[in-house]
Amino acid sequence: MGVSVLISPSCPYPVTQIPMSSNYALAIKIGSLRIVCLYLPPSMSTHDALAVLSSIPLTNDTIICGDFNSRLGSLTGDYATNTRGLALCQWLEEHALTVVNGQLSPCTPTFISFHQNVEISSIIDLFITNMSFTNATLNIHTDLSLNSDHRLLSLSFIYAINPTSHAPPPSPLEKRTGITMYKVKL
């Protein structure tokens, strides 16, 4: 469904794909870190969107990112909510998850479009986690359109990846980890 993950060839850790039951989700594991990328289309019902979210295997080190098409209102600093956003807020609370956008870049739109010369903007591309980040930054790049109404988002933070027997330990153990979410209109 247009969800893909690009891994730098210089990544010193094994990256494995985690099987997902939904075509709208792609999950990978790097060390103990799990990253789940989503695309929940606007045409998908709220019930089906919650079913996709509920299929995600949450561990202590999980990051969920993607286009949720959910407007979370004051949680992110958006000026509006929608039905899916209200359901997502309840799901977040039930699973003790945090929306990184609301903490690190509140009120910054991730979607900007124009309809009859009127700007329409919202915060629907999200990073969600159950982790505490060290030295985290979330950049929403307004200067790169990528020929899309969605903005490029980059999340960087310090994370100690548990080395496995298949990868050489990094030097030093704590490395700056960057996760970038792209949305390209085809």
pLDDT in tens, 60-115: 999 999 999 999 999 999 999 999 999 999 999 999 999 999 999 999 999 988 88
Query: Of the candidates 43, 101, 56, 97, which has an alpha carbon nearest to the alpha carbon of residue 77?
Result: 101
Q: Is residue 165's pLDDT more than 50? A: no
User: φ and ψ at 100, to 5 degrees?
Assistant: -65, -35
Band (pLDDT 50/70/90 cuts) for residue 179 is: low
Higher pLDDT, 178 or 55: 55
**Residue 11 pLDDT:** 83
The answer to whether the peptide bond before residue 169 is cis (omega within 30 degrees of 0) is no
Separation of first and last alpha carbons in the chain: 12
CATH no. of 15-181: 3.60.10.10
Q: What is the pLDDT of residues 47-73, one digit of tens each?
A: 999 999 999 999 999 999 999 999 999
Q: What is the pLDDT of residues 11-60, one digit of tens each?
A: 888 899 999 999 999 999 988 899 999 999 999 999 999 999 999 999 99
Q: What is the CA radius of gyration of the chain?
A: 16
Q: Is residue 4's pLDDT more than 90? A: no
Tokens standing for residue 40? 């929940």
Band (pLDDT 50/70/90 cuts) for residue 175 is: very low
Q: Is residue 176's pLDDT more than 70? A: no
**Residue 2 pLDDT:** 65
Band (pLDDT 50/70/90 cuts) for residue 147 is: confident
CA distance 66 to 154: 12
Query: Of the candidates 15, 98, 85, 29, which has an alpha carbon nearest to the alpha carbon of residue 57?
Result: 29
